[in-house]
Structure 1
Amino acid sequence: MDKVSHGILPAFDGGNEAGGSKKVKGTVVLMKKNVLNFNDFNASVLDLVFELFGQKVSLQLVSAVHGDPEKGLRGKLGKPAYLEDWITTSTLLKAGDSAFMVTFDWDEEVGVPGAIIVQNKHHRQFYLKTVTLEDVPGEGRVHFVCNSWVYPADRYKKERVFFSNKTYLPGQTPAPLVKYREEELVNLRGDGTGELQEWDRVYDYAYYNDLGNPDKDAKYARPVLGGSAEYPYPRRGRTGRPPTKTDPNTERRVPALMSLDIYVPRDEWFSHLKMSDFLAYALKAVAQLLKRKLESVCAKTPNEFDSFEDVLKLYKGSIKLASPLLESLEESIPLEMIKEPCCAENKTAWRTVVEFSRKMLAGVTPALIRLLKYPMPQVIKENKTAWRTDVEFGREMLAGVNPVLIRRLEEFPPASKLDPKIYGNQSSTIREELIQKQLNGLTVKQVIKKNKLFILDHHDAIMPYLRRINTTTTKTYATRTLLFLKDDGTLKPLAIELSLPHPEGDEFGAISKVYMPADQGVEGSIWQLAKAYAAVNDSGYHQLISHWLNTHAAIEPFVIATNRQLSALHPIYKLLHPHFRDTMTINAFARQILINAGGILEATVFPAKYAMEMSSAVYKNWIFPEQALPADLIKRGVAVEDANSPHGLRLLIEDYPYAVDGLEIWSAIKTWVEDYCSFYYKSDETVQKDEELQSWWKELVEEGHGDKKDEPWWPKMQTVKDLTETCTITIWIASALHAAVNFGQYPYAGYLPNRPTLSRRYMPEEGTPEFEELKQNPDKTFLKTITAQLQTLLGISIIEILSMHSTDEVYLGQRDTHEWTADAEPLEAFERFQKKLGEVEERIMRMNGDKRWRNRVGPVEIPYMLLYPTSEGGVTAKGIPNSVSI
């Protein structure tokens, strides 16, 4: 929120100074570079020297009403004004922010300003937040929302221009501002050449050709994702790094694993508060930093959990690793590994992390040490065994971390869409006689007719890769899970089918076996393993598709296209921009340490080296309009159109927390978008004549999601309805959809037995030593089958960070300043949006307290809050940030 406008600082009155010339005074709020880096003393001294010698920070007003004939009718420029008291001004506002006075000579030939040119003649950059002018003749208050890093002027080829918070469609732009508006977009597009540097402000596209590292070893080569029919993919932000020596189509990676020297436009970087949070929690992920050292240690000590009590020790702080780890830790984070990052405050932060880690270990006696204590995941907080129940197993498909896949079964037995010429017969082997006794006296045909038969089906997505996946350390299946909707609204598992490729070749179809529910003896232990194999499939699909592909990767082209084609003056830019905060940065981090060859995802999730390639195969079926929640629910058969029902849909699973809360959020977003767009777009013709909007949509389709450009389902962007539906879907993906599949990760999957990410052994067969072990010690067999110790440490370390809200998060229905637009009607519509979200919060709390809705809390006693709009910081299992921000 802009504190200047709320009386925290005094407003400056304009008036006549000595000599009778009119003066206009204002306030500039910024954050000095040295505030973020207390060790940057030399840079601070240099800035002071620059000030003393007249190399200051200047601001020039740009007229919105008078053009300069000598400069192509660009807005006339006022005389430069300079920030006052740079040397003596102390921090006056919230941490890091300083407010400076600035005084402009008023020039009637300039008149009302519509933009401001800022020049930084200092040695270091600063973060410019706002500029506010008071008592501008004929206008009153003029406010500029900047929120941008301003580097020394010699870093730029063009001047830094910031526009006031007024909003204009391209054709309505005051003539003196038109050239400035057009040139700013040209600057942001760049010229498509060269390696981009931290001060560059270029948004451009590239393929996912930076995941592999063939120069390191052939085993780290990966296919380029994007730009081909074989491996289609959304585009990422271009960095311009040179190609590898081994493969000219692969981009060279940043050498240091944990380096922050990864280009994204500087204004897309995490705030200093969020970076502090991010790095602080990186300490908890010490296993990531020390992967090789941990591997060498774990090779000398047991790499298995022997009991569920062993797993619980992770959260009690009593997992013990032998003393050789101490020497490993003390030498494992050399400062040399940290390449010069994109900005020095981050380098300092990383050095702080390293030194803290070393000090933390200093003086520890060479005895057993305790390491890696994690918070208790909510799934076992109230009840340590309820996660094993069939009721909870089914409930998490409706209210867990991946509630977006379950669908109604409309044909029996379940069929496959895989090409039988390539994959043979992949139809399910589940037969009616196997499940008949569990259908409350009904036939399968009757159950289907009553909309009571559902399936969690991972078969087709995984089977084409399964033969290759199982040549690694993974030993798993492609699964189908059949469920029956009971009268109390809960889902009862009926059967789980585990399938493998035919040993003689794919064309011979699948080898499948069906497992039935049991809760006693060896049959009960086998059923627990069957559920674990289904959970392994679901965990991998969740991370790769529901989470990464459908939110992170799908939304990045929108970030790029919006900044390249929509001016900051454009109403749709102002609508969408908050929903892109931090996305490019977290995606860049992901490419560096998570989804890269040999990265954490490949080490911890069952598809291993085929993970990203598999997500590319699923992207072939990605359809933008189907990302809308109502369309998705109808496609999956869990809802039907009903004009008499709220939101025009009737849920076939009435107690479906994700869908129930999601439809409330969807409706609130849609109403807000319609109210907003209708203010600026009075007719379809207005949409058609908006040149920036048309360029934005054309580029997004043809470049950002270019491998899908010929699909007929793209909205044509010819009507107001096209526009509102597109913006609603975009905001839904970036905010609520991402929240639903992200912030429950640690609460549900922080306890790996509940959501194992890989399996290392096949189902024990009768007559084998493994089967005898299962009979004698089923828990140990279960733990030896699923994720091992090292992968568990890696996995829960990263998902704890990914489940964390930063302390400065901005949630749905919030903005970082209340003056984001000067138009009153959109601000009033936004207030209605906020009020509606508050009502949604109250409704969620009421439903969670109503015992009728058994799926909202469940046996594990976790109330469904993942679509509760607001939250405090930390791992809370609630809150919808505006954007894909972590």
Structure 2
Amino acid sequence: MVKYKVYVTTANCAQATTTNGIFIKLVGEDGESSRTWLTNFKGAAAFYRGVESKFSLYCPTSLGKLVLIEVDKQRLPLFPDDAWFASKVKVKSPEGDIYTFPIYRWISGSDVQLFREGTALRITDDSHHLGKYSREKEMKLREQLYSWHVYKEGLPHCMKADNPLDLPCEVRFSFTKTTEFLFTASTGLAELQLKGYSCSKNNWTDIEAIHKVFCNKRTDISDYVEQHWKDNAFFGYQYLNGVNPILIQRCTVLPENLPVTDAMVPLRGGASLSEEMQKGNIFLCDYKRLDGVKPNVINGKKQYLMAPLVLLHKTPDDQLMPVAIQLKQTPADDNPIFFPIDSEYDWLMAKIFVRSADFNEHQLNAHLLRTHLLAEVFAVSLLRNVPMVHPLYKLLIPHTRYTLQINHLARLLLIAEKGVFTEFAASGGEGMMAILKRSLSSMTYSSLCMPDDIAERGLEDVPNFYYRDDGLRLWDIINRLVNGVLGHYYKNDDEVCQDSELQKWIQDIFEHGFLSQECTGIPQEFRTVAEMVKFVTMVIFTCSGQHSAVNTGQYDYGGWMPNTPISLQRPPPTTKGTTSEATMLQTFPDINTTVQGMSTMWLLSKQSSDFVGLGQYPEDHFCEEVPHKLIKVYQGELEVLSTMIRTRNKSLEIPYTYMDPALVENSVAI
């Protein structure tokens, strides 16, 4: 007889413990063990949360190189049937070899489940018939569990699930995450001390009344916003380092529908508009995706959503200052162009309409579509097409954590017919779907790849652009990890072309995420190692750094409503000289609309206690030395970047923290 030592680790998370009997079978190239009940001196405590337990398993002869294990769970007399979250199984063979079997999933019921030895294998590497069999069995099951669903025509497809409990256990929120999320969602108004305002359909009567509501829950940046929301310099700054830094672009030729002349725009420093354009100092923000969108009706009142064009100037002292605002796309007598030299409230109202447009553009395009919906496509395609043993799965699975459930909740609570966004945002309802469809149809692959995007928008040398500076460094760090890990498994382009699972993954993304639109530039297949590395870098960056950049600061910049109105209920001025503070207050959203927006932004900005930061891997899917070393280097580079960012921020009036790796979550989890 020969002895195998079996070490079983139960995850250290709430409700991971089981009192059921755990059975295992070892399967090797030269044979298999009998199905064995794992028992030792710990008794029922052997599978408590966070515990590693050792067992002995005997076989008549050696099984050879281990290929997989079979695990099942059976209820014991007098004990309830409970789910078990297993982390991993390690087996020491009689020859002294150590085999690791990553599990990291809930095991419920009594079905036998197969888990592969942890060495990463592409499909072309998996030559043993048992390996091929388990691979095929796993993918058939996954195709059933993770089905595509068309939520709305013209939008990226999502996972089919009627409610969160329909999601497979392995992709659901943890008990901790569920408890905290439901508590924050249900008590958000109370936590912000806004409950008494949630039913008021009245207008705001003065700025002080808004301040009294806002002062209940503040951040350092939201305090700054309240003090500076009227400032032109702060208005321009938000295009670089606020929550929507992806819209601004350098302007070398004025759009035909923005009839601004040199004489209209006196610039600081005395140069003309045309001269400053030639020098690269003029920038444009165009909200054309909002043009013609049917605005919402809130509290029985029609709302207003503009599609502005905003011209900005980089001044000699490196500030980005707005110099012209046209609130509608088509020039007309009743569509004046506003300038800083106009009356205080004419100019302020123009900026308020821009900031409201920016909220809607940001939430639907920059945030919902380009991070949440794409992250779900990346995740579902991975789970449908790539088995656990594949190196791509091991690399990407940490970046899918909680995404499927948070998106399901977003469709249920935010953008459904009675969702908060649908009921209280200017673009809620019909307008929302129109904007999302336009945004997807105009999306390009290059705009998702930060180095390409910055170059295409002509923003390489804009000063004080911390989103760009931190984001490009973060992109490079992620790219080095991806290049190192995937380059270890794919030595040449032919190996990429021959990997059918890899190719199915990208084909599914092209079809279900980008609706087979070739104009997006999204690859339909991978032909080279470089193409694969760039795309996987984009996926990780989108699910981590980019999502953090457009999500984490929502309450910072939106908690003070006048800076980010989620809707406006009076039309913009059609002639100059007709606005006042009273006009502004009547234009702001009603009190209940304001506080619903504040509460939602507070919820979406709040970090969970089971947050997993970028570069942290509580689940160790890789077993080989090379990826482990690369991950160590990666973690070190992230720490260096975090230190650089924190050191720089000490000297900034407004710290930029949203790309700090220590604060960036590994996945779209909120």
Matches within 5 A, 1:148-227: 148-153=105-110, 156=111, 159-175=112-128, 176-190=130-144, 202-208=145-151, 225-226=152-153
User: Who is 2:601 aligned against?
Assistant: 799
Query: SS of the residue aligned with 2:63?
Result: coil
SS in 2 for 1:298: coil
Aligned residue number for residue 290 of structure 2:
462
How far apart in 2 are the matches of 1:433 and 1:264? Answer: 61
Q: Residue by residue, what CA displacement relative to the aligned partner does 1:277-319 show, whole Å, maximum 9, x if unpaired?
A: 212322432579x999977x425xxx232222212222444xx
What amino acid sits opposite 1:279 in the alignment?
L
* DSSP-derived class of the 1:172 partner: coil
TM-score (norm 2): 0.92
2:547 to 728, 738, 751: 738
8 A contact 1:469–1:607 mirrored in 2: no
Partner of 1:304 in structure 2?
203
Shift of residue 707, structure 1, vs aligned partner: 4.0
Equivalent position of 1:853 in the other structure? none
The residue aligned with 1:869 is 661
CA distance in 1, matches of 2:86, 2:601: 32
Shift of 1:807: 1.4
Is 1:79 equivalent to 2:79 in the alignment? no
Alignment match of 1:480 (pick from 291, 305, 309): 309
User: Among 228, 241, 252, which residue is 1:399 paired with?
Assistant: 241
Cα deviation, 1:532-582, whole Å, max 9, x if unaligned, reads 000000000000000000011112111111111111111111111111111
* Residue equivalent to 2:278: 449
1:281 has 2:196 as partner: no
C-alpha separation in 1, matches of 2:417 and 2:333: 29
Question: CA shift at 1:66, angstroms?
Answer: 2.7
CA 1:823–1:35 in structure 2 vs 1: closer, same or farther (change >3 Å)?
closer
Question: Which whole-Å deviations, capped at 9, do the CAs of 1:734-781 have from their partners, x for residues lacking one?
Answer: 11110100000011111111111111112356799xx4xx54xx1x43
Aligned mates of 2:319, 2:22 — CA distance in 1: 64
Matching residue within 417, 437, 447 for 1:626: 447
In the aligned structure 2, how far is the partner of 1:84 from the partner of 1:432? 85
CA distance in 1, matches of 2:221, 2:539: 31
2:367–2:551: 8 Å Cα contact kept in structure 1? Answer: yes
Q: Give the secondary-structure state (helix, strand or coil) at the position aligned to 1:438.
A: coil
The verdict on how the C-alpha distance between 1:587 and 1:513 changes in structure 2, with shifts beyond 3 A counting, is same
Cα distance 1:565–1:66, how it changes in 2: closer, same or farther (>3 A)?
farther
Q: C-alpha deviations, 1:159-202, integer Å up to 9, x for none?
A: 31122321111121250322111211111101xxxxxxxxxxx1
Per-residue deviation, residues 444-491 of structure 1 (Å, max 9, x unmatched): 221111000001111x21113157889962123221111000122210
SS of the residue 2:412 aligns to? helix
Residues 59 and 119, structure 1, Cα contact 8 Å, conserved in 2? yes
1:365 paired residue number: none
Greater mean alpha carbon deviation, residues 102-111 or residues 533-542 = 102-111
The one-character-per-residue Cα deviations of 1:309-348 (angstroms, maximum 9, x if unpaired) are: 212222444xxxxxxxxxxxxxxxxxxxxxxxxxxxxxxx
User: Equivalent residue for 2:7?
Assistant: 26
Q: Which amino acid aligns with 1:880?
A: V
Partner secondary structure for residue 426 of structure 2: coil
Instruction: Please name the residue that 1:652 is paired with.
Output: 461
Deviation at 1:862, TM superposition (A): 2.7
Give the drift of 1:593: 0.8
- The whole-number CA distance in structure 2 between the counterparts of 1:383 and 1:565 is 46
- The alpha carbon displacement at 1:112 in A equals 3.4
Relative to 1, partners in 2 of residues 1:83 and 1:174: Cα closer, same or farther, differing over 3 Å?
A: farther
Distance 2:124 2:98 in 1: 25
Letter in 2 for 1:594: L
1:545 paired with 2:365, answer: yes
Question: Would the alpha carbon gap of residues 22 and 140 (structure 1) be closer, same or farther in structure 2, given more than 3 Å must change?
Answer: same
Distance 2:598 2:576 in 1: 35
Task: Please say if 1:830 is aligned against 2:631.
Answer: yes
- Please tell me the residue identity of whatever aligns with 1:311: I
Once residues 364 and 24 of structure 2 are traced to their aligned partners in structure 1, the CA distance between those partners, rounded to angstroms, is 47
1:535 is aligned, of 341, 352, 355, to 355
Shift of 1:389: 0.8
1:584 to 404, 407, 413: 404
Counterpart position of 1:636: 457
Q: Which moved more, 1:720-729 or 1:22-31?
A: 22-31
Equivalent residue in structure 2 for 1:431, among 261, 277, 282: 261
Which residue of structure 2 lines up, in the alignment, with residue 72 of structure 1? Answer: none
Distance in 1, matches of 2:338 and 2:558, equals 24
Deviations 1:251-297 (A, max 9, x none): xxx6xxxxx54x22221111122222212322432579x999977x4
**Amino acid in the other structure paired with 2:501:** E
Instruction: Encode CA deviations 1:780-799: one digit per residue, 9 max, x unaligned.
Output: 43232122211121111111
| Counterpart residue number, 2:99 | 142
Q: Is the contact made by 2:339 and 2:347 (CA closer than 8 Å) also made in structure 1?
A: yes
Structure 2: tracts of 5 or more residues without a match: none
**Contact 1:287–1:794, Cα closer than 8 Å, also in 2:** no
- Give the direction of change, closer, same or farther, for the CA distance of 1:804–1:716 in structure 2 (3 Å limit): same
2: distance between equivalents of 1:441 and 1:833?
48
Higher relative contact order (CA 8 A, sep 6+): 2
SS at match of 1:608: coil
SS in structure 2 of the partner of residue 388 of structure 1: coil
Q: Which amino acid aligns with 2:316?
A: D
- The letter of the residue matching 1:586 is I
1:697-716 mapped onto 2 (5 Å cutoff) = 697-708=506-517, 713-714=522-523, 716=525
Cα contact 1:234–1:705 (8 A) shared by 2: yes
Contact 1:625 1:714 (C-alpha < 8 Å) held by counterparts? no
Assess, with a 3 A threshold, how the Cα gap between structure 1 residues 709 and 126 changes in structure 2: closer, same or farther: farther
In the TM superposition, residue 384 of structure 1 has moved relative to its aligned partner by: 4.0
SS at 2:72's partner residue?
strand
CA distance in 1, matches of 2:585, 2:187: 24
Q: Give the partner amino acid of 2:30.
A: H
Distance (Å, rounded) in 1 between the aligned partners of 2:101 and 2:437: 42
User: 1:298-697 to 2 correspondence within 5 Å?
Assistant: 298=200, 303-317=202-216, 375-382=217-224, 384-412=226-254, 414-415=255-256, 427-435=257-265, 437-458=266-287, 460-466=288-294, 473-499=302-328, 512-518=335-341, 523-609=343-429, 610-638=431-459, 651-697=460-506
Residue 620 of structure 1: SS of its match in structure 2?
A: helix
Equivalent residue letter for 1:182: E
8 A Cα contact 1:24 1:106, kept in partner: no
In 2 relative to 1, CA 291–746 (structure 1 residues): closer, same or farther, beyond 3 Å? closer
Q: Within 2, Cα distance between the matches of 1:863 and 1:712?
A: 35
How far off its partner does 1:529 sit?
1.1
Contact 1:552-1:587 within 8 A present in 2 as well: yes
Does the residue aligned with 1:753 lie in a helix, a strand or coil? helix
Question: What is the alpha-carbon distance in structure 1 between the residues aligned to residue 657 and residue 250 of structure 2?
Answer: 24
**Offset at 1:58?**
1.2
Task: Provide the rounded CA distance (Å) in 2 between the counterparts of 1:22 and 1:87.
Answer: 21
CA, structure 1 residues 162+604, in 2 after alignment: closer, same or farther (shift >3 Å)?
A: same
Shift of residue 607, structure 1, vs aligned partner:
1.1
Distance 2:34 2:124 in 1: 25
Residues 85 and 487 (structure 1 numbering): CA distance in 2 closer, same or farther, change over 3 Å? Answer: farther
Separation in 2, partners of 1:533, 1:767 = 15
For 1:22, the aligned partner's letter is K
Residue in structure 1 matched with residue 156 of structure 2 by the alignment: 234
**What's the counterpart of residue 666 of structure 2?**
882
Partner of 1:749: 558
* Aligned counterpart, 1:106: 59
Do the aligned partners of 1:715 and 1:726 also contact (CA within 8 Å) in 2? no
Q: Structure 2: how far apart are the matches of 1:60 and 1:694?
A: 33
**Alignment partners' CA distance in 2, 1:107 and 1:805:** 53
Identity %: 24
CA distance in 2, matches of 1:468, 1:745: 22
C-alpha change, 1:822 and 1:35, in structure 2 (3 Å) is: closer
The answer (yes or no) to whether the contact 2:326–2:337 under 8 Å persists in 1 is: yes
One-letter code aligned to 2:458: G
